[in-house]
Structure 1
Amino acid sequence: MSLDVHDIAGAPVVIGAGIAGLMTALFLAPEPVVLVCNTPLGTGACSELAQGGLAASLGEDDDPGFHLCDTLAAGDGLCDEATVRRVVRAAPEAVKTLERFGVAFDRYPDGALRLGLEAAHSQRRIVHAAGDATGRELVRALIAAVRRTASITILENMEARRLIVDDGSIIAVVAAGRARAIALPTRRAVLASGGMGGLFCDTTNPPGSCGHGLALAAWAGAEFADLEFVQFHPTALDGPCRPMPLVSEAVRGEGAVLIDERGQRFLAETPGGELASRDVVARAVWHQLAVGRRVFLDARQCLGPRFDKRFPRIAELCRGAGIDPATDPIPVRPAAHYHMGGIAVDAAGRSSVDGLWACGEVACTGLHGANRLASNSLTEAAVTASWVAESVAGASHTRRRRKCSTLVPPRPDASGIRPVVSAALGIIRDGETMREAVATLLPIATHNSAGSGPALVSLMIAIAALRREESRGAHCRSDFPGRDADARTSRLTRHSAMQAAAALSCRAPIGST
């Protein structure tokens, strides 16, 4: 494939068109910016599928301090408290900003915001739009705003394939479509490429969400943090569809309970019950499935005939599977949903690579720690996009002409490694299976093939998980079931990612320590 150099006059390049990418581009206006999207705008992003809302302390009985405490508790000791404090304080204003961009949030007849309750929140503070279609409404409004903004150049159906680095700094982004590949000379690139749930067989994420942004950053030499922490949503609709349709946590917030095939509620004695933190509920569901029982979410008593009005999208998905949630319990199982780890960034979203920022799920800000609090992800994207844009706008962008490599890596494909990742890095992990996965993934990651990027990301996650010899938050090991009071922090997790890169360079097997 030939490589053309596309003159963008050194404008920043934003990679990804979910909430984080769209808002970063909008906040950069009126400065020219290039938005690279590997699908038609409005499709293919996890943001569009989000049923949950944004967590923000907007209720009369709420306060950012309560939101702070809930986030820290869910993060199980690994949140960066300064980051959490900064995000929760900015969250209410982020909701207002989204409204100015045209988002129509759900309100009561008197005009007050309709605030929902989700797991591990002490107050009703979840702002939704269109009932259970918050992501769709956010993406709709933000795309409309982007298309109205003349300073934003949109490159649809173009996938970023490589970040070109010279002397430790970004100098270009290589992107490719079906018929051509282009180099975008820039000293400012923002990765807003979403998550990595597509590395798993059972996931709520689009199949293209296979950690490609993490692979781009790894090839560019970036540092990572908390890669081992993958969140599994406890209630994905159990059926043949992939990605798996999500049954929002808000349904449990309205009183729905989890039952087994005998009709027994198995979380009755668990603190918090169905609204315990996601890691607790996901493991409880997994244990039921592991002994051969099916699991159902029962909303018949709490919602019954009101289900359709309160959750129209979920009701539609259920009926497509032959289920009427007003009269039938909904079959559910856990599915890979969100990555708490990612590219290590500072308070302005800067990575360890000069000229590279990260925003949204691909970044690790320290907000989520070991376990994300429900509905904090869209909040994080909306809040941090403004900080990233401010930093990008203020950065030096003197143009330096360099000849870009003509090598265009193939489009990533995770299909070959999903069974390996699912077996080794699921809800319950063990050292032996993870070491076997490392041995399988290493040779794939070293080749220039479609599976190389997904294998590299999976390899780094596996190594980080091997090195955390404890169970904490979403990371649960059957061979290390206890929580280590002196556990290694995310700083050492960064080292494990770099050690993975070193192992790749020498093609040596990686041990468990």
Structure 2
Amino acid sequence: MTNRIPQDILDALTDVDMPRLVPPSELDETIRLDGHVVPVHRCGCVIVGSGAAGLRAAVELKRRGGDVTVISQSAWGGTSACSGSDKQTLHTANTSDQGDDFKAMARAIRAGGAMDEDTAYIEAVGSTRAMASLQYLGLPLPQDALGGTLRYKTDHDETGRATSCGPRTSRLMVKVLAQEAIRLGIPFFNQTTAVKILTEGAGATRHTVGILAIQPRFQTDDNPLGLVAFQSGALILAAGGPGELYRDSVFPNGCFGSLGMALEAGLELVNLTESQFGIGTRREGFPWNLSGTYVQAIPHIYSVDETGTEHHFLADYYRTTQELASNVFRKGYQWPFHATRMLDFRSSLVDLAIFREGQKGRRVFMDFNRNPLPVPGDLPFSLDRLDEDVATYLGTAGADQVQPIDRLRHMNPLAIELYRRYKVDIAADPLEFAVNNQHMNGGIAVDTWGRSNISGIYAVGEAAGTHGVTRPGGSALNAGQVFGTRVAEHLAASGRSAHPADGDITTVISGAVADITSALSTDSPLSYRDVRAEVQARMSDHAGIICTPDAVRNALKAATALNGAIRQNGLGHDRPGQVARVLQWQQMALASEAVLAALNHYIENGGGSRGARAICEPDGDALPQARSGPLDAYRFRSERQADQKEQILVRLDQGRIKVSTRPNRPFDETAKAFFERDWPAWLTGGIYDLQDTPGSTG
């Protein structure tokens, strides 16, 4: 039997219209520099990014009396508003039927290692508050008839803490938070690209005084680059992850993040070795993760070569039809590639097989109108011949339909509707896909209040490096909501953002403008398009799911050489309208070098395969097997347990990338709060650690 959901309900959960922004008031203050007249907007706090995490910080800070301004390259155009999957979820601690509690949830969040234990606990404790407040704002999270939240199991989650509004969960989150931000009168500067963090002081006294951005509507003869300065005593970086870093990416186009800009400002970055890769549709069309019910419907997966011949390539890897079909299903909640799941004929062997087809120049497709073809010599596909966990799931879901498209329609009709909105009818035609980069688990190093190593600068969402090697699916959304709230609480307690900034920062802005103009050249042999092609190819080809020590080492040398050439020659551009993009690619090249430096450090110091990447070498101790025999080219190093206990830090020092390590911050699970003893710290603000020094990330 198929669930019949009225079309108007499907439409409402798929076509999510975003609110219209109110144009900000005109700026009547300017700073005159040599060749530039730069408009200035003063505020207490400027937030870079208009996704779910940035909007949460904006709303919470405004409610606490903060003077807040949001700037965005493209409002409602980022990852949380435009990307995701049918299981992009918000976490909630379970009721006792699953034996869950906050400490158990924290252990699950940090289970892969290289994550601060206190951060994991903060995310667990804050999850119920984040969910409840979103429901209060109107997020339609599903409930049963008695008011309980409907939940399910997702990747790296054996308890079943996830819940979802469907494939547009994160966009719906952005919508309700945006509506609240507009209702509160928070100014938004849209089509505004942050390009330079402004700081004063040195050492322990260094602090932010705002950010310099480019806005085309401010472009005049006196302001040829369209510069605008946002002067503030607090800065929250919430611009998401570096989606443009990879050619093979499921990020929406134009997602640059802020890691390169952060490096230039002297911020420390952490865990840049940790990302997520998995199957998804190509970004040339409509990029989307193919997790959840897309694969739990068990479609037929095949490739096509240059002659148009189909190849049932998964049959070369799995021993039986049952094993093949069951592992395609498991990609639903084991979506991210993980090196260890290439072993013992498990689910990441699917990723490796797809990756290898791509290397052969073949295109890979998912056909929802065909069940998987049999492995040669074995029985045909049957719902009666599936592994126990798969059969139990489909049986409980009532997904006993003959064809994959009917099973998908029964379990998740929104999955079909979503692609149909983008002129792709997966009910009629096969869907092309590949293994793509999806998420940066690392980012700006922050402490338990979201503070960076420079006073007044905070980071939330994917811009912050709060994740470790693995994370339960959907916990990134939760982390952004929890830390968006905590940053707002900390800023409100400090009073730093209560009033618009004052003082004269002409000298700081002048220096920033000089740095920007030095990066630009009309006659440079390098164009930003050249840099884009080189960076994306290098990262996808040598820093994706399969890495070798030599390839990473050589990629780092090439990235370092590229940045040296950029510093020497600048980047060419044809017209002022390209300047923002030029600067973003100059910073993306720097971020690429930082990622490769961290990865090379990890590998050269004996680091093994974990999370996103398999470190392959001839004498590796782990050997994936296929039906056709050992996959010797993909023999890999196993992870060392000791590496799970530390994190890799990266910073820019006089133009050179410096790499170091630090142990994870611990969390004492035996410690207990005591009301009368601990209440005064809350009443007096002692919990906020408000000494006027940069936040300690160690």
Shorter-chain-normalised TM-score: which range?
A: 0.7 to 0.9
Q: What is the aligned partner in structure 2 of residue 48 from structure 1?
A: 82
Deviations 1:443-471 (A, max 9, x none): 43342432321110010000100111222
Give the secondary-structure state (helix, strand or coil) at the position aligned to 2:178. helix
Q: Which of the residues 339, 347, 350 maps onto 2:451?
A: 350
Structure 1 residues 240, 103: closer, same or farther in 2, change over 3 A?
Answer: closer
Structure 1 residues 265, 441: closer, same or farther in 2, change over 3 A?
Answer: farther
Letter of the 1:207 partner, please give it. N
Give the secondary-structure state (helix, strand or coil) at the position aligned to 1:122. coil
Letter of the 2:292 partner, please give it. E
Deviations 1:381-438 (A, max 9, x none): 1111110111222335474422112344679876332111111210111122222222
The answer to whether the Cα contact below 8 Å between 2:291 and 2:335 also exists between their aligned partners in 1 is no
Q: Does 1:452 align with 2:586?
A: yes
| CA shift for structure 1 position 124 | 2.5
Q: What is the aligned partner in structure 1 of residue 492 from structure 2?
A: 393
Instruction: State the distance in 1 between where 2:36 and 2:173 align.
Output: 37
Deviations 1:100-129 (A, max 9, x none): 222122234554432232122113321212
The answer to whether the Cα contact below 8 Å between 2:259 and 2:444 also exists between their aligned partners in 1 is yes
Instruction: State the distance in 2 between where 1:464 and 1:358 align.
Output: 20
Q: Does 1:361 align with 2:462?
A: yes
Q: Does 1:434 align with 2:468?
A: no
| CA shift for structure 1 position 194 | 0.2
Structure 1 residues 444, 3: closer, same or farther in 2, change over 3 A?
Answer: farther
Q: What is the aligned partner in structure 2 of residue 236 from structure 1?
A: 280
Q: How many residues align?
A: 490
Instruction: State the distance in 1 between where 2:454 and 2:45 align.
Output: 15
Instruction: State the distance in 1 between where 2:641 and 2:167 align.
Output: 39
Give the secondary-structure state (helix, strand or coil) at the position aligned to 2:541. helix
| CA shift for structure 1 position 331 | 5.0
Structure 1 residues 99, 322: closer, same or farther in 2, change over 3 A?
Answer: closer
Q: CA RMSD in A?
A: 3.2
Q: What is the aligned partner in structure 1 of residue 630 from structure 2?
A: none
| CA shift for structure 1 position 313 | 4.5
Q: Does 1:27 align with 2:60?
A: yes
> 5+ residue gaps in structure 1?
none
The answer to whether the Cα contact below 8 Å between 2:449 and 2:490 also exists between their aligned partners in 1 is yes
- 1:276-287, aligned counterparts within 5 Å? 276=334, 278-280=336-338, 283-287=348-352
Q: What is the aligned partner in structure 2 of residue 472 from structure 1?
A: 610
| CA shift for structure 1 position 2 | 3.4
Structure 1 residues 321, 34: closer, same or farther in 2, change over 3 A?
Answer: closer
Give the secondary-structure state (helix, strand or coil) at the position aligned to 1:170. strand
Instruction: State the distance in 2 between where 1:312 and 1:422 align.
Output: 33
Q: Which of the residues 224, 241, 246 maps onto 1:200?
A: 246
The answer to whether the Cα contact below 8 Å between 1:58 and 1:92 also exists between their aligned partners in 2 is no
Structure 1 residues 45, 276: closer, same or farther in 2, change over 3 A?
Answer: closer
Query: Percentage identity across aligned positions?
Result: 21
Letter of the 2:586 partner, please give it. S
| CA shift for structure 1 position 88 | 1.0
Structure 1 residues 345, 457: closer, same or farther in 2, change over 3 A?
Answer: same
Structure 1 residues 3, 111: closer, same or farther in 2, change over 3 A?
Answer: farther
| CA shift for structure 1 position 165 | 1.4
Q: What is the aligned partner in structure 2 of residue 225 from structure 1?
A: 270
The answer to whether the Cα contact below 8 Å between 1:126 and 1:375 also exists between their aligned partners in 2 is yes
Letter of the 1:142 partner, please give it. L
Instruction: State the distance in 1 between where 2:130 and 2:300 align.
Output: 33
Structure 1 residues 243, 352: closer, same or farther in 2, change over 3 A?
Answer: farther
| CA shift for structure 1 position 219 | 0.8
Structure 1 residues 45, 121: closer, same or farther in 2, change over 3 A?
Answer: closer
The answer to whether the Cα contact below 8 Å between 1:120 and 1:277 also exists between their aligned partners in 2 is no
Structure 1 residues 272, 243: closer, same or farther in 2, change over 3 A?
Answer: closer
Instruction: State the distance in 1 between where 2:646 and 2:269 align.
Output: 9
Q: Does 1:4 align with 2:42?
A: no
Give the secondary-structure state (helix, strand or coil) at the position aligned to 1:227. coil
Q: What is the aligned partner in structure 1 of residue 176 from structure 2?
A: 141
Give the secondary-structure state (helix, strand or coil) at the position aligned to 1:351. coil
Q: Does 1:97 align with 2:129?
A: no
The answer to whether the Cα contact below 8 Å between 1:33 and 1:153 also exists between their aligned partners in 2 is yes
Deviations 1:346-389 (A, max 9, x none): 00000001111000111012xx3112221111011111111011
Give the secondary-structure state (helix, strand or coil) at the position aligned to 1:415. helix
Q: Which of the residues 15, 39, 50 maps onto 2:48?
A: 15
Q: Which of the residues 528, 532, 535 maps onto 1:415?
A: 532
The answer to whether the Cα contact below 8 Å between 2:559 and 2:593 also exists between their aligned partners in 1 is yes
Deviates further, 52-61 or 338-347: 52-61
The answer to whether the Cα contact below 8 Å between 1:203 and 1:243 also exists between their aligned partners in 2 is no
Deviations 1:70-101 (A, max 9, x none): 3233x2x2222221122112211210011122
Give TM-score, length-normalised by structure 2: 0.64
Deviations 1:42-81 (A, max 9, x none): 22334432231112124452423443333233x2x22222
Q: Does 1:289 align with 2:380?
A: no
Structure 1 residues 338, 171: closer, same or farther in 2, change over 3 A?
Answer: same
The answer to whether the Cα contact below 8 Å between 2:251 and 2:283 also exists between their aligned partners in 1 is no
The answer to whether the Cα contact below 8 Å between 2:78 and 2:240 also exists between their aligned partners in 1 is no
Q: Which of the residues 447, 459, 481 maps onto 2:637?
A: 481
| CA shift for structure 1 position 309 | 6.3
The answer to whether the Cα contact below 8 Å between 1:5 and 1:185 also exists between their aligned partners in 2 is no
| CA shift for structure 1 position 185 | 1.3
Q: Which of the residues 180, 200, 225 maps onto 1:166?
A: 200
Q: Which of the residues 135, 144, 153 maps onto 1:117?
A: 153
Give the secondary-structure state (helix, strand or coil) at the position aligned to 2:69. strand
Letter of the 2:642 partner, please give it. D
The answer to whether the Cα contact below 8 Å between 1:48 and 1:136 also exists between their aligned partners in 2 is yes
The answer to whether the Cα contact below 8 Å between 2:53 and 2:484 also exists between their aligned partners in 1 is yes
Instruction: Mark the structure with the bigger radius of gyration.
Output: 2
Structure 1 residues 7, 195: closer, same or farther in 2, change over 3 A?
Answer: closer
Letter of the 1:487 partner, please give it. D
Letter of the 1:340 partner, please give it. N
Q: What is the aligned partner in structure 1 of residue 8 from structure 2?
A: none
Q: Which of the residues 505, 511, 519 maps onto 1:402?
A: 505
Deviates further, 190-199 or 286-295: 286-295
Q: What is the aligned partner in structure 1 of residue 439 from structure 2?
A: 338
Q: What is the aligned partner in structure 1 of residue 121 from structure 2?
A: 85
Deviates further, 242-251 or 355-364: 242-251
Instruction: State the distance in 2 between where 1:439 and 1:386 align.
Output: 40
Instruction: State the distance in 2 between where 1:334 and 1:243 align.
Output: 14
Structure 1 residues 100, 424: closer, same or farther in 2, change over 3 A?
Answer: same
Letter of the 1:196 partner, please give it. P
Structure 1 residues 468, 267: closer, same or farther in 2, change over 3 A?
Answer: farther
Instruction: State the distance in 2 between where 1:231 and 1:457 align.
Output: 17
Deviates further, 138-147 or 112-121: 112-121
Instruction: State the distance in 1 between where 2:348 and 2:599 align.
Output: 17
Deviations 1:475-504 (A, max 9, x none): 32113612124338544x21xx23xx2473
| CA shift for structure 1 position 16 | 0.4
Give the secondary-structure state (helix, strand or coil) at the position aligned to 2:55. helix
Deviations 1:205-231 (A, max 9, x none): 1222233x1112111101111111111
Give TM-score, length-normalised by structure 1: 0.86
Structure 1 residues 14, 259: closer, same or farther in 2, change over 3 A?
Answer: same
| CA shift for structure 1 position 277 | 6.6
The answer to whether the Cα contact below 8 Å between 1:120 and 1:272 also exists between their aligned partners in 2 is no
Q: What is the aligned partner in structure 1 of residue 163 from structure 2?
A: 127
Q: What is the aligned partner in structure 1 of residue 259 from structure 2?
A: 214
